[in-house]
Amino acid sequence: MGKVAVILGAATAIGTAIGLTGAVATVVGGVVLAAGAVVVAKAVKKTFTPDIPSMDDFGGAGGPSTDFAASGSQGILINKSGSSSNLPVIYGTTRTGGMRTFIESHGTDNNDLHIVFALCEGEINAVKKILFDGVQVMSTSNTGQNSSWTFDVSKYSGKVEAHFYPGTDTQTANSQLNSVGSWTGSPHHKGVAYVYFKMTYDEEVFKNGLPTITFEVEGKKVPSTSDGTTLAFSDNPARCILDYLTNTRYGKGIAVADIDLTSFQNAETYYTSKGFHCRGNLDTKARMYTNMVDLFTSCRSYLAFGNKYRLIPEKIESTVQMTLDDSNTIGDVTYVLADKKTMFNKLKARFMNESTEYRDDIKIVESSTLQSNDNGHVLEAEIPLPYTKTASVAQQLLTEEINESRQSHMVELTATVEAIDLQVGDVVQVTNSTFGITNKQFRVVSTTIEPTSEVKLTLKEYDPDVYGSSIITDYKDDNNA
């Protein structure tokens, strides 16, 4: 019983920290947030309702659509005006529009036009390219604050100045901009990444008027998974998710002490091996729940609650932690089969493709063999991938989603105290003569300690073939054979 008390104490501490009370304190672990097939499975399997932190603690579902969900790339690349709209958070390398917060003509005959575009929350790594009407006109290899550019279209040389500020909390106002009449009070945009332009009028250069300006940026400096605090540029999903969870300005503000950094380090290594990346605009006006689910689409993972928050990728596990059978299970076993609501043979993803100038693109993955197996029915869905920017990664994500959707049986059972060390994400094998299964593998979705010290488990079907690069077309029986 000493071991049980320690685990319950840790669960109670984190439950109190995020405002949870009552039965939640008995939960050792459960899925808090997830994306893709895990969400589908949880939505359909109403039988299983483990007492884990509510989605409402992350803002709940619903709320306003993100810019990408509402308008695709046009919602990201458009220029906006005003200073009261929400700034996005930009992760990884992507292309974006800006928010025009200042515009005024000045100088002799008002020939000089001064414009400020706020880009996003800071601190970001760099603006690498500036485009006018979709044409790259300026570029640099510099990072950080920068006023030195290579002019890729020579006519703008001498007619356009661009000054980039990365959004540090200590940055100062541009001295040249301070001389402009209505730029009063020395606005410095602390914490905001922005670009200040000075454009000198030339009838030939600007014969079509003011261009639509977009920027290719290297986004947010995100915390290291080794200590949770050291900041550097990275597009690894583990580091971007860690940033959003811990940031106190636009994120959840969870203390680093409440994060299992080892799980984030392991996830970072796995994502690197798969080529998964997180590149895109996080819409700060959307609910935190919506943004977290969107982030998880980049890496097919979920956030687990226990004594700390753990990041768990959907991936091959090399170790089966234990066997559950009649000798260590108690009472009824509930077994839920997959149905057509959770099975797919065709998936379509919408994403901004970096190889086509960040235009909207569609990737379709389907299996005619599976469609034949499904009596000719096309079981399809569309998945937005707001943080995926390459067709190859989109294909891998969709392939795994199709595979997992067809390996989605679920089990709920109660085990003896032997199962007390199981964690969410662990793989177990189940033998049950009533259902005719022998050593069938499942992944742990939630663990709850009952007052009797028995352990209530929710399990989701596991198959290592899910995570390959090909669609599984052969039928897997209940012994994973």
pLDDT tens digits, 191-210? 999 999 999 988 888 888 88
Q: Measured between alpha carbons, how far is 285 from 281 in angstroms, rounded to an integer? A: 12
- What type of residue sits at position 307? N
pLDDT at 55 over 60: no
Per-residue tokens: 409 = 């049986």
The predicted structure's pLDDT at residue 42: 41
What residues have CB less than 8 Å from 361, skipping those under 6 apart?
350, 351, 352, 353, 391
pLDDT band at residue 28 under the 50/70/90 scheme: low
pLDDT at 73 over 90: no
What percentage of the chain has pLDDT greater than the value 70? 81
pLDDT band at residue 159 under the 50/70/90 scheme: very high
Q: Measured between alpha carbons, how far is 354 from 331 in angstroms, rounded to an integer? A: 54
43, containing H or E segment: helix 37-44
410, containing H or E segment: strand 410-415
Are 214 and 204 in contact by the 8 Å Cβ rule? The answer is no
The predicted structure's pLDDT at residue 161: 94
Average pLDDT over residues 230-258: 97
Place of tokens 């259902």: 435
pLDDT at 60 over 90: no
Per-residue tokens: 436 = 């005719």
pLDDT in tens, 200-243: 988 888 888 889 999 999 999 999 999 999 999 999 999 999 99
pLDDT at 403 over 90: yes
List the single range of 90-94, 366-370, 429-433, 468-472 with lowest mean pLDDT. 468-472
Give the residue among 458, 456, 462, 466 at the shortest CA–CA distance from 419: 456
pLDDT in tens, 434-448: 888 999 999 999 899
Can you give 71-119 as a three-state secondary structure string? HCHHHHHCCEECCCCCCCEEECEEEECCEEEEEEEECHHHCEEEEEEEE
Mean pLDDT score across all residues of the chain:
84
Q: Measured between alpha carbons, how far is 448 from 89 in angstroms, rounded to an integer? A: 36
List the single range of 19-33, 293-307, 426-440 with lowest mean pLDDT. 19-33
Note the pTM of the prediction, 2 decimals: 0.86
Place of tokens 């012994």: 479
List the single range of 107-121, 250-264, 426-440 with lowest mean pLDDT. 107-121
- What type of residue sits at position 481? A
The predicted structure's pLDDT at residue 1: 25
pLDDT at 37 over 60: no
**Phi, psi angles (nearest 5°) of residue 41:** -65, -45
Q: Measured between alpha carbons, how far is 294 from 467 in angstroms, rounded to an integer? A: 20
More confident residue, 457 or 16: 457
Are 454 and 437 in contact by the 8 Å Cβ rule? The answer is no
pLDDT band at residue 7 under the 50/70/90 scheme: very low
Are 436 and 479 in contact by the 8 Å Cβ rule? The answer is no
Q: Measured between alpha carbons, how far is 182 from 232 in angstroms, rounded to an integer? A: 36
